[in-house]
Amino acid sequence: MRTVITGGAGFVGSHLCERFLAEGDEVVCVDNLLTGALRNIDHLNANPRFRFVEHNVSEPLEIDGEVDNILHFASPASPADYLAHPIPTLKVGALGTHNALGLAKAKDARFLLASTSEVYGDPDVHPQVEEYWGHVNPIGPRGCYDEAKRFAEAITMAYHRYHGVKTHIVRIFNTYGPRMRLNDGRVLPNFMKQALRGEPITLYGDGAQTRSFCFVTDLVDGIYRLLHSDYALPVNIGNPSEITVTQLAQEILALVEGTKSRIIYEDLPEDDPKRRRPDITKAQTILGWNPTVDRAEGLKTTLAYFRSVV
């Protein structure tokens, strides 16, 4: 099969490129390198079934020849990135999704949208089920990302219902693992960077807000299963093991032996979600998927990667 992955030079996208190559596919990786990096895919260039195309998917996208699958993962994904690039974030969620869906329609290809738990906003339903419509501030600083993904879901379903495109939507919860950028601003790499450098570990608010962390290979397996299913509505993929950010900081401090870091507290950013945990019943029942990588194991693997790049 021939699979196109937009955002394929990013953290999750590069792992997807690996997975589809391992499954025997020809992979076309499309990325404008706004937040992705060539070093994430350098090791794939020797594979004759891999091709990199530098392109901004917010502009019209053309791929010669047959295409079987399109996975749309192009977008800034960390708060630091989408707050720095709010308009490109909105454009890739709207125009980029439109262009990728148009290619899927033209090629009669399966399409999978990378959506996010951020569509739930600061949720008042816990854990978050796919039927929950969310609690999002559309004009807040995070609205550029949240609303871009909500629009992307809407246009994906419109293409499915009106044009009969075979579409899938994955709502991704906090994911971690090798090839995350150490300075991308998300909580886990931020804590690891600070611990490795002996800097204060910065917690926002009282540290009681919760997150649920899924190792990247587990996420990729869920995405692969979803793409090859017949289910068109959104599916949560994430690890339901919920911890406070204070607990996460303590686990990382325990891993980084000899660090001089200590926990400090600062004000909570606007619209920062207080609780985040996926209900994965659909993933379990429809896809037969469950996360398998224990957090202790995943943190050790991720820390080893960050030690190599710090």
| pLDDT score for 271 | 67
| pLDDT score for 185 | 84
Dihedral angle sign, alpha carbons of residues 23, 112, 82, 208: negative
Is residue 272 very low, low, confident or very high in pLDDT (cuts 50, 70, 90)?
confident
Q: How far apart are CA 76 and CA 91, in angstroms?
A: 11
**High-pLDDT (> 70) share of the chain, %:** 100
Above 90 in pLDDT, residue 275? no
Q: Which residues contact 259 (CB under 8 A, 6 or more apart)?
A: 195, 196, 198, 253
75-91: pLDDT as tens digits: 999 988 999 999 999 99
Is residue 309 very low, low, confident or very high in pLDDT (cuts 50, 70, 90)?
confident
Above 90 in pLDDT, residue 5? yes
Q: How far apart are CA 212 and CA 221, in angstroms?
A: 17
Is residue 182 very low, low, confident or very high in pLDDT (cuts 50, 70, 90)?
confident
163-181: pLDDT as tens digits: 999 999 999 999 999 999 9
Q: Which helix (H) or strand (E) holds 71?
A: strand 69-72
| Side chain identity at residue 94, one-letter code | A
β-bridge mates for residue 108, sequence order: none
Catalytic residue ranges:
145
Q: Does domain 2-176+214-239+277-292 have CATH number 3.90.320.10?
A: no
Above 80 in pLDDT, residue 268? no
Instruction: Tell me the H-state helices in 263-310.
Output: 281-287, 295-309
Higher-confidence residue of 208 and 169: namely 169
Q: Looking at residues 113-135, what average pLDDT do you find?
A: 96
**High-pLDDT (> 90) share of the chain, %:** 91
Closest listed residue to residue 113, CA positions, set 232, 281, 285? 232
Higher-confidence residue of 274 and 153: namely 153
Q: How far apart are CA 181 and CA 155, in angstroms?
A: 30
